[in-house]
Amino acid sequence: MPLSGDHLVTIVTTTKEVVDVTPHLWSWKLAGAMAITFIVQGVTIGAYAARLAGVQTHRIATSISLFNLFMTAGRLANLFSVVMVGPLSDGAGHAVGVLQHANDAAGVAQFQHNFDLQLRLIILAGTLGMIVFSIFLPMFTYLFRRGISSFEQRGSVPHSAVRLFDPAVIAQVVKAQRMPSMRRLLEFDWRSLPMRMLVFNVVVTGVYAIGVQASYYASVLDVDAARTALGLSGIINGIGTIAFTLFVDPSSSMISDQAIHGRRTIEEVRAMVFYLSLTAIVGTLLSQVIFYPAAVVIEEVARFFNHVHG
């Protein structure tokens, strides 16, 4: 049914109110989402140190358990950023819907561009988190060694975790930090590592970094299929997790096992941790490139299933 003149005036008035309030780039919700992503992605990098700690302590099974615990906890914690990103998406989606009814294409583009920048800033925060936490990998390695030792003594992960908050332990962990020199980093040889593992780590990290954000952006590209687009984020992250489990985790575990049995050196394990961290950072940088195409693909899939009848 066509809109009456009075109804059209109401939509235009509402549009003006929304435009005056919503299109601001910065907000506390954006800052909160960036902070959560910074920490979560950084902890993901820190988890790589569990491999090295396992080889150093010859407790590879325990180190793998701690690694999986950190990775799973990090990916679960990443969902808490939804609490911050959700309201940003709701505001942008509402504004776009109103502007589309008012046939204001310029206004729609403005809100979509603003939301695009917000999501890219969140992704960038994750990249910065990885870079910062990778600098502290020596500290994380020591932390995992202490965690493995504490777990063996107490037999409980929660009790061991509480022990790590002891001020004396924190002081020792901080003291263990050593800033690596550029010369030292260049000594790590990537040729001793499986190229497939490194390539898949780039791809998996890149996909996982934008799984949620691309779905949120797709929900603003097509507000009529918004809920379907948001539901696809779980599928994307699930595929990323399966790919990591199939192609990255087994190779890194095998290298750790080989080091335990003397078929590889501890330096090769250090090189593995370094290059896994580096390729993860590269993956999040790549995610900025594939972010918009991924959102468009999600939008098209959501639109297709949203309009299938029967």
- Amino acid identity for residue 92 in this structure: A
- Separation between Cα atoms, residue 299 and residue 74, nearest integer Å: 27
pTM: 0.86
| Cβ–Cβ < 8 Å for 173, 220 | no
What is the number of other CB atoms lying within 10 angstroms of the CB of residue 303? 17
- Separation between Cα atoms, residue 235 and residue 218, nearest integer Å: 14
- Separation between Cα atoms, residue 29 and residue 152, nearest integer Å: 41
CB hemisphere CA count around 134 (13 angstroms): 22
How many residues can be counted in the chain?
310
- Separation between Cα atoms, residue 191 and residue 172, nearest integer Å: 34
Segments of the chain scoring below 50 in pLDDT: 1-22, 310
Q: Which residue has the tokens 């020199």?
A: 181
- Separation between Cα atoms, residue 161 and residue 235, nearest integer Å: 32
Q: What is the pLDDT of residue 23?
A: 57
Q: What is the pLDDT of residue 11?
A: 45
Q: What is the pLDDT of residue 81?
A: 78
CA distances to 88, 116, 171, 231 from 30, in Å: 8, 12, 33, 21
- Separation between Cα atoms, residue 141 and residue 154, nearest integer Å: 20
- Separation between Cα atoms, residue 140 and residue 146, nearest integer Å: 10
Q: Which residue has the tokens 């960038």?
A: 124
Q: What is the pLDDT of residue 102?
A: 84
DSSP string of the chain, one letter each residue:
-PPPHHHHHHHHHHHHHHHHHTT-S--HHHHHHHHHHHHHHHHHHHHTHHHHHHHHHT-HHHHHHHHHHHHHHHHHHHGGGHHHHHHHHHHHHHHHHHHHHTT-HHHHHHHHHHHHHHHHHHHHHHHHHHHHHHHTHHHHHHHHHHHHHHHHHH--HHHHHHHTTSHHHHHHHHHT--PPPHHHHHT--GGGS-HHHHHHHHHHHHHHHHHHHHHHHHHHH-GGGHHHHHHHHHHHHHHHHHHIIIIIHHHHHHHHHHHHTTSS-HHHHHHHHHHHHHHHHHHHHHHHHHHHHHHHHHHHHHHHHHT---
| Residue 65 CA to its chain's centroid (Å) | 21
Q: What is the pLDDT of residue 105?
A: 86
pLDDT digits (tens, 9 = 90+) for 16-66: 444 444 457 888 999 999 999 999 889 888 888 888 998 998 888 788 777
